[in-house]
Amino acid sequence: MDCLFCKIVNGEIPSKKIYEDENCYAFEDINPVAPVHVLIVPKKHINGVDTIEASDGEILKSIFAAIKIIAKDLKLNNGYRVISNVGEDGGQSVRHLHFHLIGGKKLAWTF
């Protein structure tokens, strides 16, 4: 499958790794919007939040455990934001499930 994040997970496209376990992989966003901008993706291809299934429970457990570990490692003690864009209206440009972990400054909330 021609998927950018599958290629990053399998190493075909290089990335700056932050964390990984058997189910998920985390790397620096190429175009950071804040001092910390990490993407956490499942190793298995899932299109987005809209196609998560009950059988993906272990994967989501890994992803949210990873987010907590990364936030602690990167000392985001004062808070951070987790975002998953879905589909065209949500602004999802890569159709492989991913969670943005953004922080390192006081974040604005505007649309």
Q: Which residues bind Zn ion (CB under 5 A)?
A: 3, 5-6, 45, 96
DSSP class of 75: T
3-state class (DSSP) for residue 58:
helix
60 binds, among ligand 5GP, Zn ion, none (CB under 5 to 8 A by kind): none
Site string for ligand 5GP, 28-57 (x = CB under 6 A): xxxx-------x------------------
The helix/strand count (H/E) of the chain reads as 3, 5
Count the alpha carbons within 13 Å of 36 in the hemisphere toward its beta carbon: 24
Residues that bind ligand 5GP (CB under 6 A): 4, 13, 15, 27-31, 39, 85, 91-94
